[in-house]
Structure 1
Amino acid sequence: MPISTTVNGKKVTLDIDPETPLLWTLRDELKLTGTKFGCGAALCGACTVHLDGEAVRSCQIQAGDIEGREVTTIEGAHDNIAQAVQAAWIKLDVVQCGYCQPGQVMSAIGLLSQIPKPTDDDIDKAMDGNVCRCATYQRIRAAIHEAAKSI
């Protein structure tokens, strides 16, 4: 049975097994490769996307669960909050290897959408579970504060 959803503002119909993880639906079926595979167990945050505006781990969401819902990936993150986060990431030179950054950015956008002026504690709670092997956590926190100031 086809699955109809909206991805990055575009309506799509997918002919896919409803148990396929959203991560692989995005990467393999829709060729949206910005969302990364990290652990497959929702522990690292590399696969973070927004589902109806909420940051979720796409490796744990099944394609059948997105019927009639709205998915936003890093490729579709263009609103004013997303632009502020992306600009702060660039300004503060957050990225080292960059592999985890799409998930980090999507989690930061989700945080700032809920809490426009977060404290360090708010940031730590929201970003918990987003692993950065390069350990750029201090720059990530600073970039979130920078983005909050510019919104």
Structure 2
Amino acid sequence: MSDEPRPAPFNADELTKADSDAISAFLKARVQDLLDRHPAGSAEARAARALQESAGTLVDQLNLLFHDEDPETLKARMDAWNAVVFTVWLGWKGTEGYDVKRWRRVQHTDIEDAVEGARRLLKSREQLAEKKRAERAHP
């Protein structure tokens, strides 16, 4: 079992308001289910209300970040998306309605950031391989 959602095969600039709306609707339905099953004032209903408020705040913050594609906005969108995804993933991964293909952790703001990340990864792996070759050559 992993301790975080799988990385997304898409970037922050590919997220849309429709993605936010879908994950928000999923959260609202889960909270409503909790509220329907527990009496008002119970610990469970209070926890559901707290989740509703905190998750709603996260979604609201995400929704403010669809107005442009500036690098700073894309970084903030990525961070906001990941916060919402972690909230959903922790409680409901594998349940009915959970979108395993879309609700994933975004690692890059756009394609250029993804390419640069791949370059950094390749360079670090090349350096590691070179170090191992040197260690084998001179034990």
> Greater helix percent: which structure?
2
Higher relative contact order (CA 8 A, sep 6+): 2
Q: What is the TM-score normalised by the length of structure 2?
A: 0.25
Q: What is the TM-score normalised by the length of structure 1?
A: 0.24
